[in-house]
Chain A
């Protein structure tokens, strides 16, 4: 600021007499303070608001056709028509300047809307609008012109930021002991462990209290762990520990779902209606996992999202969006009443800009590998119109195959994991319509014309309760029959001769009393295992190659069961639905208990999934053939570990025994010291018997030590 003296000199030069000046009458132009800061803050605020209301509601539309005077009105009409759809144009709000010499328009116009919001909306919606081939609108806010004017004439290369390598999010896969990770949630804590079966205990990786506000979930190939919070969802991952990688804002998020390739995260929130007769409001957002950008949001009433789909919470069925298989996350589909909406992820818009109309469709299912959608339409008109299962190719929407089915009560579609087969379990009514029975329709997707085979159960009245494919294989299993005599049958789709009837039954296990579900170990190419969970936690480990039960076990009251991603171990857990024995047990694939961890208020256990193997089928086969050579190395390691373990165990036992011995010696000597006093207390009665007892105890004790040592050797 200029000193007061300077000002005096300056005014004297200009011939102004300070006393004549009425300072209040001086008005500075708004928005320009000539570099003089005011001490009145309200001045700035006023300026700000004035600026906002200035031209915020005006947009500039460029790249309009240049037309002569005759066509002026027509063009004006067209422009008005377009922009009236996007907001209310003020009266005389459209200004299209005309060259005063040629009377031609200049190819741009100004449009003033009622509100800045409308202007903003109109800008966003119409920018890039194709009026015709050579006229693509370029729309800007009038306010932005200042900014655009300041663009430098010469292009400056943007500053190159130094490359910061991200963390290796897949590092957990490179564990040299090839262990798998699992996450458990109990009480307020969430913990991630290595499943260290060799050491017969889990090794902690990361632990955090109040990590999530509802539950945690792994992404489909295990890169991320997602946690849910009031404000939204967050994903965690990292090389050595778990750090927050990204947050996704979606307040009161209830459910999340990943696309199979982990590119996108779908979050779900539903609001209970204030009026009970209204449907609850649903909001779904799709985020790009890596950038955290919201790609698209869907809002609507729960009804729009509520047909089909297994499970779900009040309102919509979850997941609302079925992602097409394959890791490229190209398509996702939504099922709603009479329509299937298939979106593609490049633009997050509907394919061909319209949904598929399929009357009364109730279920859809993607092939796990190809962009083929299978859909089921139930019977209508009291059986006049048959039920239908159809395969539709996306994005062409061509129906590849369809089959009509009669007197069907329900239908479930099961894709085999490599997309080669589709099994459709069909529940049909018996003639009396009082009960139902089950059968299969098997589609061979990879063969010409997609042949369909029908498979019926031996006992025609049986119902299938649970079904499972062998991963990547040609076999499947089903539990059927009525309680209490339920059978498990195993079928192979290729073992039959090359006639039409190629499905053959391998075996049936009688009366398993299995309730549900049937679980198949993942990636188990040589042995195909099933764990059968009865209502009291009975487990059965079955080897399908040998067609024999390897082991039966029980985890009493077990509520959940989950195979690890490699099929080597299975975890059974008791969650808080039961009061006692909360915790989990890890079993080896052949039914041996590995270890057991008890945690009160146990909520959840989830194995960290692994991405698909990069090995080719031939390579895998080669490994399977030469398994003996490969396993040698690991056997040696196993032996080292078990030696070490038994050594540690022996050491521990020795220490414990020594410690206990010390106590006993101390007690004994004290007891000896007090002998006389005690005798006095007992009126002189000598307690010889007592001492004898002590001796006897001593002998027994040493005996026991010997026994323990022997057993350690046996264990080895």
Chain B
């Protein structure tokens, strides 16, 4: 598949992909959003799909207009890399987790800091529950503390907000990071994945470990990312073992495996078509020593059902750390180690891709 890209400088270049089942011309004009000074860590659209929130290793999460890439504002207050964020269903609240050992609640509109959850360790991931009354926050292991999953109650009125945890879950191996924890269907479970390559489902009420992924079929190396379907029925995990796997969220049954050639840092599922996207690339420390193409800093599209590669979108000159589909499935954005967010609106050809 050939994807011809036109970059903002007007330079046109052709890219050949090796697995060319057929040739398909797609012209996509990505919007390059340069607002972060450090590598991107996380991207998220709000429910309406008009806003895109980005987190990076610099300390300021940023919000952009999702249609034209214009910067709307930043959220100032963190003093460390920001790892993750989530937006409430009504787009009023933003929660961010940072390496400065805090998670912060923000008013999306005003950019005002509403509350700070303090931890003794960096906060790695955050996720609002259905109804936005709860949030799950994971923390890394740090001096004296082991990695854990915290459940916080989110008050309707920021004045009533307290910092106490409703529930704290300890990972079996406290020395391994939990890279991501999200709510299961109806807030009954919490699904977590991390450096120990295992996916676990916890009871969100009692904190009991309900299920753990089978070692045979599960990931072999650290799980870097986890993204769930809009209806909370299934989720996709990406791992350093160069695969992404699709699981049933209720039973933790492995449904699909997508194999690529580079470690996977980010995954996303199209809400519109049966497509999954994997992003990654060789380790950032090795990038400078090789040809830029050796890194494979491509967002690779796979057919969800057939598990076959459809195509790829190049452009980043560092590993891809974050991927997100807009809720309407008509655009997606990628964030790289290179500090850029690339916003791609699909053209009509994309929707007629045949494999």
Contact B231 A556 (CB under 8 A): no
> B residues within 8 A CB of A579?
282, 286
Total cross-chain contacts (CB, 8 A) = 86
Point out the residue from A585, A653, A656, A681 that lies within 8 Å of B186, measured CB to CB: A681
Q: Of A4-12, A100-108, A493-501, A705-713, which stretch is located at the interface? A: A705-713
Q: Does A704 reach chain B (CB closer than 8 Å)?
A: yes
Q: Does A143 reach chain B (CB closer than 8 Å)?
A: no
Q: Does B284 reach chain A (CB closer than 8 Å)?
A: no
Contact A670 B131 (CB under 8 A): no
Contact A681 B250 (CB under 8 A): no
Q: Does A354 reach chain B (CB closer than 8 Å)?
A: no
> A residues within 8 A CB of B210?
none
> B residues within 8 A CB of A697?
271-272
Contact B355 A711 (CB under 8 A): yes
Give A690 to B304 CA distance when docked, in angstroms: 21
Contact B282 A580 (CB under 8 A): yes
Instruction: Across the interface, name the chain A residue whose C-beta is closest to B131.
Output: A681
Q: Does B262 reach chain A (CB closer than 8 Å)?
A: yes
Point out the residue from B19, B89, B234 that lies within 8 Å of A682, measured CB to CB: B89
Contact B186 A678 (CB under 8 A): yes
Which residues 48-73 in B have Cβ within 8 Å of A in the complex? Answer: none
A177-203 interface bits toward B, Cβ cutoff 8 Å, 1 = contact, 0 = none = 000000000000000000000000000
Contact B231 A690 (CB under 8 A): yes
Q: Which of B261, B262, B282 has the most CB of A within 10 A?
A: B261
Main secondary structure of the interface of A (DSSP, over half): helix
Give A585 to B19 CA distance when docked, in angstroms: 11
A681-716 interface bits toward B, Cβ cutoff 8 Å, 1 = contact, 0 = none = 111000000100110110011001001101100000
Contact B231 A677 (CB under 8 A): no
Tell me the count of chain B residues lying within 8 A, CB to CB, of chain A: 40
Instruction: Across the interface, name the chain B residue whose C-beta is closest to A583.
Output: B261
> A residues within 8 A CB of B273?
700, 704
> B residues within 8 A CB of A554?
16, 18
Contact B231 A671 (CB under 8 A): yes
> B residues within 8 A CB of A700?
272-274
A585-623 interface bits toward B, Cβ cutoff 8 Å, 1 = contact, 0 = none = 100000001001010000000000000000000000000
Point out the residue from B131, B274, B354 that lies within 8 Å of A710, measured CB to CB: B354
Point out the residue from B18, B186, B234 that lies within 8 Å of A677, measured CB to CB: B186
Q: Does A330 reach chain B (CB closer than 8 Å)?
A: no
Q: Does A657 reach chain B (CB closer than 8 Å)?
A: yes
For the complex formed, measure the closest distance between the CB of B186 and the CB atoms of chain A, giving whole angstroms: 5
Contact B131 A683 (CB under 8 A): yes
Contact B355 A708 (CB under 8 A): yes
Given contacts A557-B294, A656-B305, A657-B305, contact A663 B234 (CB under 8 A): yes
Instruction: Across the interface, name the chain B residue whose C-beta is closest to A585.
Output: B18
Contact A556 B130 (CB under 8 A): no
Given contacts A557-B294, A653-B306, contact A593 B18 (CB under 8 A): yes
Q: Does A51 reach chain B (CB closer than 8 Å)?
A: no
Which residues 636-672 in A have Cβ within 8 Å of B in the complex? Answer: 653, 656-657, 660, 663, 667, 670-671
Give A667 to B250 CA distance when docked, in angstroms: 10
Contact B185 A674 (CB under 8 A): yes
> A residues within 8 A CB of B20?
593
Instruction: Across the interface, name the chain B residue whose C-beta is closest to A689.
Output: B47
> A residues within 8 A CB of B354?
707-708, 710-711
Give A674 to B188 CA distance when docked, in angstroms: 12
Give A296 to B57 CA distance when docked, in angstroms: 69
> B residues within 8 A CB of A420?
none
Given contacts A556-B293, A578-B294, A697-B272, contact A690 B130 (CB under 8 A): no
> A residues within 8 A CB of B130?
678, 681-682
Q: Does A581 reach chain B (CB closer than 8 Å)?
A: yes
For the complex formed, measure the closest distance between the CB of A651 and the CB atoms of chain B, giving whole angstroms: 13
Q: Does B166 reach chain A (CB closer than 8 Å)?
A: no
> A residues within 8 A CB of B185?
670, 674
For the complex formed, measure the closest distance between the CB of B243 and the CB atoms of chain A, giving whole angstroms: 12
Q: Does A251 reach chain B (CB closer than 8 Å)?
A: no
Q: Does A48 reach chain B (CB closer than 8 Å)?
A: no
Give A683 to B352 CA distance when docked, in angstroms: 40
Give A663 to B133 CA distance when docked, in angstroms: 29
Given contacts A681-B187, A682-B89, contact A663 B248 (CB under 8 A): yes
Point out the residue from B133, B231, B306, B352 that lies within 8 Å of A694, measured CB to CB: B231
B298-311 interface bits toward A, Cβ cutoff 8 Å, 1 = contact, 0 = none = 00000011100000
> A residues within 8 A CB of B129?
681
Instruction: Across the interface, name the chain A residue whose C-beta is closest to B261.
Output: A581
> A residues within 8 A CB of B291?
536, 557
Q: Does B255 reach chain A (CB closer than 8 Å)?
A: yes
Q: Does A401 reach chain B (CB closer than 8 Å)?
A: no
Give A657 to B256 CA distance when docked, in angstroms: 12
Q: Does A207 reach chain B (CB closer than 8 Å)?
A: no
Contact B231 A701 (CB under 8 A): no
Q: Does B245 reach chain A (CB closer than 8 Å)?
A: no
Give A697 to B130 CA distance when docked, in angstroms: 21
Give A580 to B264 CA distance when docked, in angstroms: 13
Given contacts A554-B18, A663-B234, A682-B131, contact A674 B186 (CB under 8 A): yes
> B residues within 8 A CB of A683?
131
Q: Does B230 reach chain A (CB closer than 8 Å)?
A: yes
Contact A660 B186 (CB under 8 A): no
For the complex formed, measure the closest distance between the CB of A238 and the CB atoms of chain B, giving whole angstroms: 34
For the complex formed, measure the closest distance between the CB of B290 and the CB atoms of chain A, giving whole angstroms: 8
B260-296 interface bits toward A, Cβ cutoff 8 Å, 1 = contact, 0 = none = 0110000000011110000000100010000101101
For the complex formed, measure the closest distance between the CB of A654 and the CB atoms of chain B, giving whole angstroms: 11
Q: Does A555 reach chain B (CB closer than 8 Å)?
A: yes
Give A660 to B307 CA distance when docked, in angstroms: 12
Give A670 to B234 CA distance when docked, in angstroms: 12
Point out the residue from A657, A667, A681 that lies within 8 Å of B231, measured CB to CB: A667
Give A697 to B234 CA distance when docked, in angstroms: 15
Given contacts A557-B294, A663-B234, contact A596 B19 (CB under 8 A): yes
Q: Which of A670, A683, A707 has the most CB of B within 10 A?
A: A670
For the complex formed, measure the closest distance between the CB of A464 and the CB atoms of chain B, giving whole angstroms: 28
Contact B355 A598 (CB under 8 A): no
Contact A580 B294 (CB under 8 A): yes
Point out the residue from B187, B271, B296 that lies within 8 Å of A693, measured CB to CB: B271
For the complex formed, measure the closest distance between the CB of A32 and the CB atoms of chain B, giving whole angstroms: 71
Contact A670 B233 (CB under 8 A): yes
Which residues 191-242 in B have Cβ within 8 Å of A in the complex? Answer: 229-231, 233-234
Give A694 to B272 CA distance when docked, in angstroms: 9
> A residues within 8 A CB of B274?
660, 700-701, 704
> B residues within 8 A CB of A678?
130, 186
> A residues within 8 A CB of B18?
554-556, 585, 593, 596
- A sample of 16 inter-chain contacts (CB < 8 A) reads A556-B294, A581-B261, A585-B18, A598-B259, A656-B305, A660-B274, A677-B186, A678-B186, A681-B187, A682-B131, A694-B231, A696-B272, A700-B273, A707-B354, A708-B355, A711-B354
Known: A554-B18, A660-B255, A711-B355. 20 other contacts (CB 8 A): A554-B16, A557-B291, A580-B294, A596-B19, A598-B261, A653-B306, A657-B305, A663-B234, A663-B248, A667-B234, A670-B185, A674-B185, A681-B186, A681-B187, A682-B131, A690-B231, A697-B271, A700-B272, A704-B273, A708-B306
Q: List chain A positions with a Cβ less than 8 A from chain B.
A: 536, 554-557, 578-581, 585, 593, 596, 598, 653, 656-657, 660, 663, 667, 670-671, 674, 677-678, 681-683, 690, 693-694, 696-697, 700-701, 704, 707-708, 710-711
User: 10 tightest CB-CB pairs across the interface, nearest first?
Assistant: A667-B233, A681-B131, A660-B305, A682-B131, A707-B354, A681-B130, A581-B261, A711-B354, A671-B231, A656-B305
